[in-house]
Amino acid sequence: MRNDINFDKITLGVCYYPEQWDKSVWEDDLNRMAEHGIEIIRIAEFAWTIFEPREGGYSFDFFDEFMNLARRKGMKVIMGTPTATPPVWMSEKYPEILNADIDGNKIYNGMRRHCNLNSPVYREFTAKIVEKLAEHYSPYENLIGWQIDNEINCECDRYYSESDHEAFREYLKNKFGTLDDLNREMGTVFWNQTYSDWNEIYLTRRTNSLGNSNPHMQLEESRFISDTVIGYMKLQADIIKKYRRDGQFITTNGIFPNIDYQRLTDDVLDFLSYDSYPNFAYSVNADPAKDRGMRDRGTSRVLTRIRGFSNTFGIMEQQSGGGGWNCWLPQVMPKPGQMRLWTMQSVAHGADFISYFRWRTAAFGTEIYWFGLNDWQNRDNRRLRELRQIKSDIDKLSEIAGAEYKADVLVLCDYDNEWDRDEWHKMCDNVSSDAWFAYLQKNHIPYDTLYITDKTDYDEIRKYSHIIYCHPSIITDARADLLKTYVASGGKLILGARTGVKRINAQCDTRDLPAGLTDLIGAYVEEFTPLSRFEDEKYITADTDKAGAPVFNEVLTATDGEVTAVYEGGCYDGAAAAVSKSNGMGCAYYYGCAFGEDTAALAARLAGIRAPYSYLLELPEGTELSVREKDGEEFIFLLNYGTDSSQIFLKQPMTDMLTGQTVSGARSIEGFGVSVLKRRK
């Protein structure tokens, strides 16, 4: 199930910190926000000390004054719960609320995310502050929603306090029941790790291999952390739901490691928000040689993941200026047009609410070099002028709100493999996921992402003509059955090397590989090897096409499948490298290697993946195409990420939504420019 929130129009917002500025500037700030098209502000996510300056002494005067001013100015508000940074008085009096590193050393106040989510004391303080805020501020008519916490698991995504060790033991007891079952599933007979008492169990601790220990326990550790986060967020959401007025939503801003965001969205939130910072690709220490020509375009990849959790979603922090802290090298300032481009990138991928970070750059604290719309001097500047243009554009696109992103290709992911610390899997998946993203982007093939589980329903995947599931090393029988149903019903499935190697506990499967899917692909893996960096590059050939076979090679033995590609060169020369098999109305394709861009291109050709809008327009590689659809109309976003103009050709007349003109034929999109076209299907 995917949760959604419907805005009646595409809406602009901004993050604001009234506690960081003199009250004398509040009214002018709000007036200027409104003049620039800002309708919503997010506040208070780091203001715990303002609300509770001393234990049990709650004060609402400061934010009451601001909320009343915002109401008079017609400004809507999203309020954050301030639990990402507990007050100093709390950590000094109750040090058990602090997180710890892998050696048990406490992580002290001074940054953020130093709290311990499994501490009963911290959970009690959290429940109290959230209850006070929800009870007091939910009646405000201009409060439209709540953001729970802020960027949870950012900076710190692993927990090692004493409370965490205790909670981990309870998690394992509840999941496995007995020590005998735990020992069997965790393979503890290996290297004398067998547990004879629950109190012998800990989260990962330092070992001779830099903290690496039992890999099956470490996978459970990630699952435990996700459960911890979801439980902590649910604690807050359940309290807010007791007080919130009709229409007030609950969200949080992701995404970060060791959190199952599908579960979080389904079980806790009304919709998921994202913090979009494409300028990380332009960091002063970024390596352009490694970006495959994607640069800030890579943010589209993350937006696709977010859309998989919430069909429509919000951007709680949209980058507006250069980024950096006082303690690390900052990102460069966005070039003219890039803030508008990144805004349209978010809208193109399904965001109907865009909130910029931040209104004015902080003059003190760690984030003094994380620039907002205004500089320290608070004078009109290029970014504000660009915001005024964005507002003009957004007004012309309002009807797009609620439109569905259109894609025929689905890329499957899963948290079991993402959390498994398997270097072979990571070697394959990092290369292949980058390659498929680059191939689909450059060839203007929109795609969706879905995190598959044993509960994933066939209806969630049935509409896609093709599914790409690069390297699901861990795969369950339930997921294998779902894939078989998809193929038998007419779908085309592409799999890569190391599929079906492991069971859900990350122990290796002793069945023929890919375990549970040999009948689907009509073959099994005869032998395999990771490739050494000292070896010559390996290739596969199919007909007259030749493509790379990077990272990992499997020799396949076909049973009733068709060999579609063989290895060229090396000791596997001439051996089967890829197979396909028709099943029912569909077909499964298996590649015994990782995917480079050329391998992805070959696989796409053989499986019949085509650019779905090539009959409408011709585009260069550097221009992204995204399409949203609503009420029988298609909204086609063309985003030029290059500094030079992009030359396109429209094969049919369409309406340019930003100019109102009917356009066709040869067109030009300026550097960092955007075109939004509308057509009736």
Q: Which of 243, 62, 59, 69 is nearest to 145 (CA)?
A: 243
State in words which class domain 11-175+223-401 has. Answer: alpha beta
CA distance 163 to 232: 14
Instruction: Give the global pTM.
Output: 0.96
- 86 touches 122 (CB < 8 A): yes
pLDDT score recorded for residue 289: 63
pLDDT score recorded for residue 7: 76
- 250 touches 240 (CB < 8 A): yes
Q: Inter-axis angle of helices 215-243 and 179-186, to 10 degrees?
A: 120
Q: Report the C-alpha dihedral over residues 120, 125, 126, 128, rounded to 10 degrees.
A: 120
Q: How many CB atoms within 10 Å of residue 412?
A: 23
Percentage with pLDDT > 90 across the chain = 91
pLDDT score recorded for residue 5: 58
Eight-state DSSP code of residue 560 = S
DSSP labels for 311-342? SSEEEEEEE-S----TTSPPBPPPPTTHHHHH
Which element (helix H / strand E) includes 61? Answer: helix 61-72
- 616 touches 595 (CB < 8 A): no
For the stretch 268-277, pLDDT in tens is: 999 999 999 9
- 549 touches 577 (CB < 8 A): yes
CA distance 359 to 30: 10
User: How buried is 619 (Cβ within 10 angstroms: 0-12 exposed, 13-18 middle, 19+ buried)?
Assistant: buried
Q: Which of 606, 560, 604, 572 is nearest to 443 (CA)?
A: 604
Q: Mark the ranges of the chain whose per-residue pLDDT is less than 50.
A: 1-4
- 265 touches 2 (CB < 8 A): yes
Active site residues: 151, 317
pLDDT score recorded for residue 271: 96
Residues 6+ apart with CB under 8 A from 403: 628, 629, 630, 635
What is the domain partition of the chain in residue ranges?
11-175+223-401, 409-607, 617-680
Residues 6+ apart with CB under 8 A from 246: none
- 460 touches 309 (CB < 8 A): no
CA distance 657 to 141: 34
For the stretch 243-253, pLDDT in tens is: 999 999 999 99
pLDDT score recorded for residue 2: 39
Residues 6+ apart with CB under 8 A from 229: 117, 152, 153, 258, 259, 264
pLDDT score recorded for residue 1: 32
Q: Which amino acid is at 550?
A: P
Mean pLDDT of all residues belonging to the chain: 95
State in words which class domain 617-680 has. Answer: mainly beta
Eight-state DSSP code of residue 98 = B
CA distance 449 to 217: 28
For residue 190, CA distances in Å to 181, 195, 198 come to: 15, 12, 18
Q: Which of 391, 416, 377 is nearest to 258 (CA)?
A: 416
The pair of structure tokens assigned to 446 is 């929109």
Query: How would you list the strands of the sheet with 143-147, edge to edge?
Result: 249-251, 143-147, 76-80, 40-43, 11-15, 351-357, 313-319, 273-276, 253-254
- 341 touches 646 (CB < 8 A): no
pLDDT score recorded for residue 331: 85
Q: Tell the CATH superfamily of the 409-607 domain.
A: Class I glutamine amidotransferase (GATase) domain (3.40.50.880)
CA distance 656 to 675: 7
- 327 touches 366 (CB < 8 A): yes
pLDDT score recorded for residue 6: 65
CA distance 132 to 315: 27
Which element (helix H / strand E) includes 556? Answer: strand 552-558
For the stretch 209-223, pLDDT in tens is: 777 899 999 999 999
